[in-house]
């Protein structure tokens, strides 16, 4: 089965983001495909290169990145939600005259059209909210 995943939960506010990455890893282990994960609203914080959780909390960003490097999962961050929350890639940082970018590697900024496309192409869409 081919899944599209929507994550609108921040990484450390609720269990939503943890549940999302656990679902993705379990689905892949069971032989399914996670074609795209779309990060929306506060879920965009999962893509921050600057997050430093305490040692007793597992960091989620490297686990998301591993989905991309190991399984080719597309990690798409809503550009509008990201900009509102100060999450920028190199191009957007230059465009908005900001001193630095903070989007973690293997994540990419794009619009809601990527979510719509994923929903059309997937067998199932699973959403993880706060």
Catalytic residue numbers read 78
Query: From CA 130, how far away is CA 40, in angstroms rounded?
Result: 11
End-to-end CA distance of the chain: 25
Query: 99, 128, 93: which is closest to 11 by C-alpha?
Result: 128
Rg of the chain (C-alpha set): 14
């Amino acid at each position: 089965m081919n899944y599209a995943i929507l994550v609108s939960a921040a990484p450390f506010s609720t269990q939503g983001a943890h549940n999302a990455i656990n679902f993705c890893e379990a689905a892949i282990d069971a032989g399914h495909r996670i074609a795209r994960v779309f990060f929306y609203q506060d879920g965009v914080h999962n893509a921050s290169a600057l997050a430093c959780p305490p040692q007793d909390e597992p960091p989620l960003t490297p686990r998301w990145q591993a989905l991309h490097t190991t399984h080719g999962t597309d990690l798409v961050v809503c550009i509008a939600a990201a900009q509102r929350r100060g999450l920028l890639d190199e191009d957007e940082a230059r465009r908005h005259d900001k001193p630095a970018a903070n989007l973690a590697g293997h994540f990419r900024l794009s619009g809601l059209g990527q979510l719509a496309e994923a929903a059309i192409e997937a067998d199932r869409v699973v959403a993880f909210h706060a």
